[in-house]
């Protein structure tokens, strides 16, 4: 099933570089965008540099597009003003452009840091009240809420992916619970793009890890079934961190080290 004319933002980032070649063969056109340098366009691709905070550039960027995978913006905890431009102004620009061009579906890379202040011994689902662990988490919650509004008002569908930790492999014990393999990331994005009815759905982006803090039951309609697991990495990760300091909030809360970031100097 062709994904049609697809826009991938944040194409120069780690996940963007993974998804670009995986999505390309599924699209009639893959337009990729970022502010950082990107690889040259291959057949079936358009490479369009654009800053999320540049409203006019964003409006142009979405012209003729059927659907968007929005990875762009700030992806780690940073000073508020930085997060503000990329993840608040930028997301507004994206949705307004989508509205004006009649784009019907957006896959929005949200983050587990929207709920980073839940404990690691709690299992929550996407209906739990948000508890962001920093400006980044707050900004991702903003994007989830703005997209909810664009669905309720304008019918633009969004799947919000609260991505755990998407890396080649888990990097520490926390990621045994939060890891999302690149293959499962691809599965999740494709399921989100191809589900017949997406409405406004929030789903946690994780592989089939043995231990997990999130229950994706409310998003089963998407048809996402992870096939990878952090388990093969467990022994090595446990050996590297045999004991955690449970007086350290980073060891207790789901957000991990994000709960220590900041405050930032103005």
What positions carry a catalytic annotation?
136
Burial of residue 263, with CB atoms counted within 10 A of its CB: 0-12 exposed, 13-18 middle, 19 or more buried:
exposed
Q: Confirm or reject binding of residue 40 to its own copies (CB under 8 A).
A: no
Q: Confirm or reject binding of residue 21 to its own copies (CB under 8 A).
A: no
- To its own copies, the closest distance from the beta carbon of 73 in angstroms equals 15
- To its own copies, the closest distance from the beta carbon of 193 in angstroms equals 11
Number of residues that bind its own copies (CB under 8 A): 77
Q: Is the preceding omega at residue 124 within 30 degrees of 0, hence cis?
A: no
What is the spatial distance between Cα 119 and Cα 222, in angstroms, rounded to a whole number? 27
- Neighbouring residues of 149: CB distance < 8 A, sequence distance ≥ 6: none
Over its C-alpha atoms, the chain yields an Rg (Å, rounded) of 18
Interacting residues with its own copies between 203 and 232 (CB under 8 A): 209-213, 215, 217-225
Q: Confirm or reject binding of residue 43 to its own copies (CB under 8 A).
A: no
Q: Which residues pair with 110 in a beta bridge?
A: 162
Q: Confirm or reject binding of residue 16 to its own copies (CB under 8 A).
A: no
- Neighbouring residues of 8: CB distance < 8 A, sequence distance ≥ 6: 16, 19, 20, 23, 30, 31, 32, 33, 68, 69, 71
| Contact string 155-194 vs its own copies (x = CB under 8 A) | x-x---------------xx-xx-------------x--x
Whose Cβ is closer to its own copies: residue 11's or residue 83's? 83
Q: Confirm or reject binding of residue 141 to its own copies (CB under 8 A).
A: yes
CA proximity to 219, closest of 182, 257, 192, 256: 192
Q: In this chain, which of 92, 108, 179, 204 binds its own copies, going by CB under 8 A?
A: 92
Point out which span in 15-23, 30-38, 163-171, 199-207 binds its own copies (CB under 8 A). 199-207
- To its own copies, the closest distance from the beta carbon of 161 in angstroms equals 15
Q: Which runs of consecutive H residues, i.e. helices, occur in 195-233?
A: none
Whose Cβ is closer to its own copies: residue 117's or residue 182's? 117
């Amino acid at each position: 099933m062709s994904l049609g004319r697809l826009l991938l933002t944040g194409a120069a980032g780690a996940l963007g570089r993974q998804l670009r070649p995986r999505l390309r063969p599924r699209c009639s056109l893959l337009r990729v965008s970022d502010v950082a340098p990107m690889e040259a366009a291959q057949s079936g691709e358009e490479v369009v540099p654009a800053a999320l905070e540049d409203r006019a550039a964003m409006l142009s960027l979405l012209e003729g597009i059927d659907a968007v995978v929005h990875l762009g913006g700030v992806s780690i905890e940073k000073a508020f003003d930085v997060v503000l431009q990329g993840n608040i102004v930028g997301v507004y620009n994206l949705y307004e452009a989508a509205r004006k061009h009649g784009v019907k579906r957006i896959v929005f890379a949200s983050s587990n840091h929207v709920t980073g202040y839940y404990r690691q011994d709690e299992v929550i689902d996407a209906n739990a009240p948000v508890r962001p662990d920093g400006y980044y988490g707050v900004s991702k919650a903003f994007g989830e809420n703005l997209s909810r509004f664009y669905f309720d008002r304008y019918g633009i569908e969004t799947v919000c992916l609260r991505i755990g930790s998407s890396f080649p492999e888990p990097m520490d014990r926390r990621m045994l619970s939060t890891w999302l393999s690149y293959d499962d990331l691809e599965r999740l994005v494709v399921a989100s793009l191809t589900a017949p009815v997406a409405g406004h759905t929030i789903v946690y982006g994780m592989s089939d890890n043995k231990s997990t803090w999130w229950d994706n039951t409310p998003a089963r309609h998407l048809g996402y079934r992870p096939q990878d697991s952090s388990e093969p990495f467990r022994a090595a990760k446990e050996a590297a961190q045999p004991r955690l300091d449970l007086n350290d909030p980073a060891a207790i809360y789901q957000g991990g080290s994000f709960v220590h970031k900041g405050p930032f100097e103005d």
